[in-house]
Structure 1
Amino acid sequence: MVLLYALAAVVLINCGFYILFSKFSFLSSSIPQSEKQYPVSLIVCAKNEAENLKKHIPLWLQQDHPDFELILIDDASSDNTLEVMESFQAENPKIQIVKVKNNEAFWGNKKYALTLGLKRAKNQRLLFTDADCEPASKDWLSTMTACFSEEKRLILGYGAYQKSSGLLNRLIRFETLMTALQYFSYAKANMPYMGVGRNLAYTAKLYYDNKGFMSHIKLPSGDDDLFVNEAATPKNTAICVSENAFTYSIPKKSWKAWWLQKKRHITTAKHYKPLHKFLLGLFYTSNLLFWILTIISFIVANWKIALALVLFRFICQYIIIGKAAKKLKESDLTPFIPFFELFLVCHQMSIFISNSRTKQSRWK
């Protein structure tokens, strides 16, 4: 019975998190309204992204917003990224180019490049995305920045991945869905802790008030989540989940590339605030224990009681995650939630073990 009590306790913790996540899952996806469209600086940092820039610069320039500039940062690229930027600049005065040369102290550091780009911005409101990101609509820029107000100075958006066939694509999109479900839900619960640089907006004043990226400038990742973790408060943070405001990126095509990407991303979590580290750790640990205790309970305990607990947990999971998946246009992932969750639990464990032995110091 002790084993079943332990399983019941873990299921209770899991469902507690799902109740928290319901703050986002059952949230209305209404399009934000603003009385005035303020000038905006759209900032994109690119390193060896010539082909993506050819495709996406026209889409950024086509945004239906009356007053914006496009700041393109060439982060010491070795391909023809700069030439592509200059060719578009010659035809459009909205474009400003920032050329970044490798600095001995900040070699290969994206935050250093972003800092130089931010200094060039002439507008107070800033919107960030990546070179491989395609806006969902011509209203992306206006919809995201409509969430700004005198109080709301940091806007969290959804950076999705393009759909394609194959297990890897579905796993990447499910992991992205779960990450978004968490950071949106925590923000709605007045505990904002991260955002993604593929779709993130904040004011220049917020950036300078928090001394930019200085506290973590030497870390390879964190220009998005670590900045949000430091700067976000319950009062200054808003979320934007209108379908028009999504961005879509190209997911990794190989398991190794995805593995290396996640290794880099996970290293920033240890720099989060203590409460956020505790809650994120508890969520992961409770998921891991659920699967371990479930397997053991079916083997050595009363399988009928174990089955009832497992089914109750799965029902809660399907309802909450399923609603979020529908809201974020990822409903095709819903039937496979348990399988994807189990895979990610094992995947994250392997990354934690690997990261404890190695470290990374560059982006890309």
Structure 2
Amino acid sequence: MHSFFHAFSNYFFDFIELISICVAIVSLLIVTFYYLYYFIKLCYNQENKDLFNHPISVIICAKNELKNLQKNLPAILSQNYFNFEVVVVNDQSTDQSIFFLDTLAKKHKNLVIVNIDDFVTHSEGKKFALTLGIKTAQYEHLLLTDADCLPKSDTWIRQMSCNFNYADIVLGYGSYERKHGLLNKIIRYDTFNVAQQYLSFAFAGQAYMGVGRNLAYKKSLFFDNKGFANHIHVPSGDDDLFIQEIAPESSLAIEICDASHTISDVIESWKDWIYQKRRHLSTAPFYKLKFKLLLGLYPSAQLLFFLSVITLFYLETDFFFICILLVVKLLVSYLVNYKTMKKLNVFDLYWFHPIYETLHLLVQGNFVLLNLFRKPKKWSR
């Protein structure tokens, strides 16, 4: 009997080892495919230096954003562009935003204010405010950003709009301010990770989202699509579900040159960041199936690779084989991320990015589990 259990035990662990080896190899191949087919495309993105000779409507939705408006709006109004307006939608703010906006409008004739009164009842989220802003905009070409975003240069509008020469949609990049602390590093790595995916997938003709912090498209696209009507019941989705609807029939460009970036004050509370991330993830169930598979396969392969390597270590599999797996994984990510992390202003995270990748994977998994039970609804806390 003892020999039977001993033989069974050996067989069982040999089987687990074989499965782990297969999982490690397959998951590594999947991750490598994403890097060498999708992510590497961002390394070769070139700056667009053409000029665009049409006016632009910048749209900002703000809810209790007085401090951010005071900090960022003057810089947006002072952009070096020949003809533009800034439409600010004050969405039922209870701070002093409207008074600041009225004062600023006296100095800047290109500032247009849309004020949503308290008695107006509308759906949860940002879509109603954004729809009013788009309807108010007098120009065909729209550039969207948030109240907490500061353009990195005075040529932000010019850099984003020049892509309208050959595209209907322009996906930009919004970064976060660099500060000390683990939370700051994880947030900035998360921002990089999201950008690396939506920008490179768009490059490959599979656009599934932009970011409301830096996104441009034609006004006619919005109305031809009947706005957000198809997902008005979903609080979020103005920058992902909407893009999935209009991208297949539209020409699209990405813009990631340094002067086109926006910078936001980073969230300094774990609680607030968790809420924000859960809100962003709440639209995932409404994604098209192909995007669910595309976005789900990559983190799943990452997780399976880490788990299988840990299992192989535990089973004392050939150390040289395990090292080969890890070296290939690290080599591919370090080579591809070198240029991309520089372009997206997170190069300070470069040398330790495998650590942030692992932490991010664990945190992201927790967000997904939390959203299975309850989804955030408000777009501004």
Q: Shift of the alpha carbon at 1:131? A: 0.3
Report how many residues are paired.
362
CA RMSD of aligned residues (A): 1.4
> Secondary structure of the residue that 2:127 maps to in structure 1?
helix
Q: Shift of the alpha carbon at 1:270? A: 1.8
Letter in 2 for 1:322: Y
Q: Shift of the alpha carbon at 1:361? A: 2.2
> Secondary structure of the residue that 2:164 maps to in structure 1?
coil
Task: Decide which structure has the larger Cα Rg and report it.
Answer: 2
Q: Shift of the alpha carbon at 1:29? A: 3.2
In the alignment, does 2:37 pair up with 1:27? no
Q: Which of 234, 242, 245 is the aligned partner of 2:257? A: 242
The answer for unaligned runs of 5 or more in structure 2 is 1-17
Residues in 2 aligned to 1:26 and 1:235: alpha-carbon distance in whole angstroms: 24
Residues in 2 aligned to 1:218 and 1:76: alpha-carbon distance in whole angstroms: 20
Q: Which of 237, 244, 248 is the aligned partner of 1:222? A: 237
Residues in 2 aligned to 1:159 and 1:177: alpha-carbon distance in whole angstroms: 9
Q: Is the 8 A contact 1:37 1:142 kept in 2?
A: no
In the alignment, does 2:50 pair up with 1:50? no
Q: Shift of the alpha carbon at 1:302? A: 2.3
Q: Is the 8 A contact 2:64 2:95 kept in 1?
A: yes
Residues in 1 aligned to 2:324 and 2:283: alpha-carbon distance in whole angstroms: 38
The answer for unaligned runs of 5 or more in structure 1 is none
Q: Which of 82, 90, 106 is the aligned partner of 2:122? A: 106
Residues in 1 aligned to 2:291 and 2:124: alpha-carbon distance in whole angstroms: 29
Pairs within 5 Å for 1:1-364: 1-34=18-51, 36-102=52-118, 106-149=122-165, 151-233=166-248, 236-300=251-315, 301-364=317-380
Residues in 2 aligned to 1:322 and 1:270: alpha-carbon distance in whole angstroms: 33
Q: Shift of the alpha carbon at 1:100? A: 1.2
Query: How high is the sequence identity, in percent, across the aligned residues?
Result: 36
> Secondary structure of the residue that 2:44 maps to in structure 1?
coil
Q: Shift of the alpha carbon at 1:233? A: 2.7
Q: Is the 8 A contact 2:169 2:250 kept in 1?
A: no
- Normalization by structure 1: what TM-score? 0.96
> Secondary structure of the residue that 2:329 maps to in structure 1?
helix
Q: Is the 8 A contact 1:29 1:327 kept in 2?
A: no
Q: Which moved more, 1:334-343 or 1:128-137?
A: 334-343
Letter in 2 for 1:326: K
Cα distance per residue 1:126-152 (max 9 Å; x no partner): 000000100010000011000003x51
> Secondary structure of the residue that 1:312 maps to in structure 2?
helix
Letter in 2 for 1:20: Y
Residues in 2 aligned to 1:183 and 1:100: alpha-carbon distance in whole angstroms: 32
Q: Is the 8 A contact 1:111 1:217 kept in 2?
A: yes
- Normalization by structure 2: what TM-score? 0.92
> Secondary structure of the residue that 1:316 maps to in structure 2?
helix
Q: Shift of the alpha carbon at 1:108? A: 4.2
Q: Which moved more, 1:60-69 or 1:98-107?
A: 98-107
In structure 2, the CA distance between the partners of 1:316 and 1:329, relative to structure 1 (3 Å rule), is same
